[in-house]
Amino acid sequence: MKNKGIFKRLWEQARRDKKAFVIYVVLRAIVIAAAVAAGLRGDYESLFFCLLTLALFLAPSIVEISLKIDLPTSLEIIILLFIFAAEILGELQAYYVRFPYWDTMLHTINGFLCAAVGFSLIDIMNRSERFSLKLSPLYVSIVAFCFSMTVGVLWEFFEFGMDMLFHTDMQKDFVVHSISSVALDPTLSNHAVILEGITDVVVNGQSLGLGGYLDIGLIDTMKDLMVNFIGAVVFSFIGFFHVRSRGKSKVASQFIPRVEPEDEAAPADNPHEAGGGPQ
């Protein structure tokens, strides 16, 4: 295995996991077609997103090969669909704007997946003889939850940085009809002044015609973190009972990677080491 190229390994891995491979090929074909179309019309930003998506599609297989772990088919398929939904549908097809809950859905799934990743990292070490970790199911679940929330917070930092430095709008705005702010208190006594029934905002003497006040990112950020919290809590509960039942949870098993046995990585030309000797 060590002497084989990475693409040959990816091909062998694809043959073992046909469902994920079919979905991978279909999604990759769609992205390649979108990349060609973007290149022909000179839309280099869309072309960049397509190339980024193609690179991200390789991530699950590269992680499996590098860390010698086996990603469950369900988890791998969800990761591929998540990347496609975020980059191609969300960015290129503007689903973030067309469908108000698209971003919320993806952040919820992200919280769930990151909790699964964090849970797997601790659970693998917890079961490995190379580490002295023997953690309780509750502690493993808490670590998974914290890992997921940390990733969610770091992503919001990234969105804020992009908006501030490059004037993007990753932290989407919301139109609200009431605000409360101590900045509007003329007495400077730290009492919030509440304005309700806001129907318009005027900037430099020009009406924006929004039908309310434009909140710039705060509500979106807190909403993203709250749904990330929900996804993290859901998987943490699933993982808790998975550890307590010592792997008998069928739901959790669909999302938790496992370490490949050593004999699977043995060279195929040594039948006794690879388990291929006479029976």
Per-residue pLDDT tens over the stretch 10-45 = 666 666 677 788 898 999 999 999 999 999 999 999
Structure tokens at 117: 């990743």
What three-state secondary structure class fits 160?
helix
Cα separation of 17 and 24, whole Å? Answer: 11
The predicted structure's pLDDT at residue 5: 56
Percent of the chain scoring above 70 in pLDDT: 84
CA 274 distance to own-chain centroid: 36
The predicted structure's pLDDT at residue 270: 45
Tell which wins on pLDDT, 178 or 251. Answer: 178
Q: Which helix (H) or strand (E) holds 69?
A: strand 69-70
Tell which wins on pLDDT, 178 or 249. Answer: 178
Tell which wins on pLDDT, 262 or 141. Answer: 141
Q: What is the 3-state secondary structure (H, E, C) of 170-211?
A: CCCCEEECEEEEHHHCCCCCCCCEEEECCCCCEECCEECCCC
Q: Give the residue from 47, 61, 57, 50 showing the smallest Cα distance to 8.
A: 61
- How many angstroms separate the Cα of 226 from the Cα of each of 105, 138, 149, 223, 275? 12, 21, 9, 5, 49
Mean pLDDT of all residues in 93-115: 95
Is the pLDDT at 264 greater than 90? The verdict is no
Is the pLDDT at 244 greater than 80? The verdict is yes
CB atoms near residue 191 (< 10 Å): 11
* Neighbouring residues of 136: CB distance < 8 A, sequence distance ≥ 6: none
The predicted structure's pLDDT at residue 3: 45
CB atoms near residue 167 (< 10 Å): 7
The predicted structure's pLDDT at residue 248: 73
Tell me the Ramachandran region of residue 117: left when phi exceeds 0, alpha when psi lies from -120 to 50, beta otherwise: alpha
- How many angstroms separate the Cα of 154 from the Cα of each of 119, 151, 221, 224? 18, 5, 11, 12
Cα separation of 150 and 228, whole Å? Answer: 10
Percent of the chain scoring above 90 in pLDDT: 57
The predicted structure's pLDDT at residue 237: 94
Query: Residues for the chain: how many in total?
Result: 279
CA 136 distance to own-chain centroid: 26
> Amino acid letter at 185?
D
The predicted structure's pLDDT at residue 242: 87
pLDDT band at 134 (very low <50, low <70, confident <90, very high): confident
Q: Model confidence over 185-206: pLDDT tens digits?
A: 999 999 999 999 999 989 999 9
Q: Model confidence over 138-170: pLDDT tens digits?
A: 999 999 999 999 999 999 999 999 999 999 889
- Are the C-beta atoms of 229 and 111 separated by less than 8 Å? yes
- Return mean pLDDT, the chain: 85
The predicted structure's pLDDT at residue 262: 57
Residue with token string 């859905």 = 105
Q: DSSP strand E in the chain: where?
A: 69-70, 174-176, 178-181, 193-196, 202-203, 206-207, 213-215, 258-259
Structure tokens at 7: 């693409």
The predicted structure's pLDDT at residue 70: 83
pTM summary value: 0.84
Strand partners, 215: 174
Cα separation of 199 and 202, whole Å? Answer: 10
Is the pLDDT at 127 greater than 50? The verdict is yes
CB atoms near residue 64 (< 10 Å): 19
Q: Give the residue from 86, 59, 108, 64 showing the smallest Cα distance to 230.
A: 108
What residue ranges do the domains of the chain occupy?
Answer: 6-166+219-265, 174-215
- How many angstroms separate the Cα of 8 from the Cα of each of 15, 62, 65? 11, 12, 11
